[in-house]
Every structure is written in structure tokens, then in C-alpha cells.
Amino acid sequence: DVKVTQSSRYLVKRTGEKVFLECVQDMDHENMFWYRQDPGLGLRLIYFSYDVKMKEKGDIPEGYSVSREKKERFSLILESASTNQTSMYLCASNLGTGIHQPQHFGDGTRLSIL
Amino acid sequence: AQKVTQAQTEISVVEKEDVTLDCVYETRDTTYYLFWYKQPPSGELVFLIRRNSFDEQNEISGRYSWNFQKSTSSFNFTITASQVVDSAVYFCALSEALIQGAQKLVFGQGTRLTINP
């Protein structure tokens, strides 16, 4: 079974802090993704990576950055946290080859910015 | 741009009833993939099904069935004889090609399904 592990289920931070969300997958997947989930909006893509050190912006990258130094690990960084970044964050991964492989998701991190 | 609409925000039924979750999509691509995911209260999204645009056959998996109709751009999901464990938020999604072989999922807003005992 594919396992995508997010480092924290719940996180509380203060405005202006630098926040790191970590994600690790154990299936040697090429692609990794960060989404945020908000009520009534579904999931929206923040950033994705198709290889080590490669990253691309998704639909809502403002206020975020990412890092992928190793294939199995994809980090989401909030450079200076703001209250409008309070949300549920979901990491996902899938194979880079083949056709539109299903994405496998972690349990999510519920982040509150005070 | 790709778009997925799940018009039903919340549905509540009594156990053993059948329930259908609607999904309508928009795309300019001739080849595309559709997905359904389930998000139980624990939070993780669980993959249920993937369907490509060339295969319009309905699919059945136990109590779950999916009806894909290209003519109406719909990919509806039916649970037969619902159970309390089916309570979750269900997302329909459309796969959009990115670069280097990666694809992103364009999600609908989700439908919260509550099955009452």
C-alpha cells in the first residue's frame, strides 16, 4: 500500500511565523503535490514537483514556497504566515509515468494561524 | 479551463436507502480522466475510481456504481443500500495535464453525505 505521511495532524502558529509542513511518501513516486482544502471550494493546488529539485506553481502559490531535496520528501513553506492561510493542507503523490495515475493522499494537516 | 461542479452540498438519507451524488464537468480536452474520492471524518482522501473519456461503460463495485455520460458531461456516483460507514465527503475530480507527465486534479466542491441509522 502507498503511504503518504504528513508530519503533523494539527498545527497552531502565529501571524508572521515561518511554517514548515512536511510530507514523505514511500512508493518512489516522481510527482508530489500540495493542496489546500477550504469549505465550499474543494481542493486547490498550491505547488507540485515532478522530480527532485523541480517545482512548479499551481493555482494558488502566493505566500507559499516548496522544497524537494529528496525524491521521497516534499515540504511546503509559509514564508510569513497570515490568518488567511488557516486551512487544511493535503499532500499527495503519484507515478510520473503512465496515464493519469491516481493521486494518493496523506491524512492532512489542519493549520491554524492566530 | 477545466471545471467540476457538484451541485449537492449536503445529502442526508436513512440507512439502506440508495443515494446518487451528481458530478458535472467542463473540459476542452478530447482525452481526459475522471475520479471519485472519499474523505471520511479522519481526513485522508481515499481513491475510489478512475474513468477515462473513451470508456463510457458503467462500472459497479459492490454497492458502488458509476454512470459516465459524455453527452451530458456527467459522472454520477450511486451508493446502493447505504450504510452508516458511507458517511463522508465525496469529491469528483477531473485530471488536467501539466508538464513533464504530471497531471493535477481539478476538484469539485464536494458533497457531504450523512447516512442516519
- Are residues A100 and B33, on separate chains, in Cβ contact within 8 Å? yes
* Phi, psi torsion values for B50, nearest 5 degrees: -125, 135
| pLDDT number for residue A98 | 62
Contact call for residues B8 and B113 (beta carbons, < 8 A): no
pLDDT digits (tens, 9 = 90+) for B22-47: 999 999 888 889 999 999 988 889 99
Contacts of A11 in chain B (CB under 8 A): none
Contacts of B9 in chain A (CB under 8 A): 40
Q: Could you tell me which chain B residue has the CA closest to the CA of A105?
A: B45
Q: Is B48 exposed, middle or buried (0-12, 13-18, 19+ CB in 10 A)?
A: middle
Nearest to A95 by CA among A31, A50, A2, A25: A31
Of the candidates A41, A48, A105, which has its C-beta nearest B98's C-beta? A48
Helix (H) or strand (E) holding B59: strand B59-61
Measuring CA to CA, how many Å separate B34 from each of A101, B4, B27, B75, B105? 11, 10, 11, 8, 9
Contacts of A106 in chain B (CB under 8 A): 44
- Secondary structure class of B86 (helix, strand, coil): helix
Residue A101 has pLDDT above 90, yes or no: no
pLDDT more than 70, % of chain A: 96
Q: What is the DSSP string of A33-51?
A: EEEEEETTTEEEEEEEEEE
Q: Give the integer Cα–Cα distance in Å for B46 and A105.
A: 7
Q: Could you tell me which chain B residue has the CA closest to the CA of A106?
A: B44
Q: Could you tell me which chain A residue has the CA closest to the CA of B52?
A: A100
pLDDT more than 90, % of chain A: 80
- Are residues A50 and B101, on separate chains, in Cβ contact within 8 Å? yes
Residue B72 has pLDDT above 80, yes or no: yes
Contacts of A90 in chain B (CB under 8 A): 45
| Of residues A99 and B34, more confidently modeled | B34
Contacts of B46 in chain A (CB under 8 A): 105
B103 close contact with A: CB closer than 8 A? yes
Q: Give the integer Cα–Cα distance in Å for A25 and A91.
A: 9
- Secondary structure class of B83 (helix, strand, coil): coil
pLDDT digits (tens, 9 = 90+) for A11-65: 999 999 999 999 999 999 999 999 999 988 889 999 999 889 999 999 999 999 9
The count of CB pairs under 8 A between chains A and B is 67
| CA–CA min distance A10, chain B (Å) | 11
Contact call for residues A81 and A17 (beta carbons, < 8 A): yes
| Banded pLDDT at B54 (limits 50, 70, 90) | confident
Of the candidates A40, A44, A90, which has its C-beta nearest B45's C-beta? A90
Contact call for residues B49 and B1 (beta carbons, < 8 A): no
| pLDDT number for residue B58 | 83
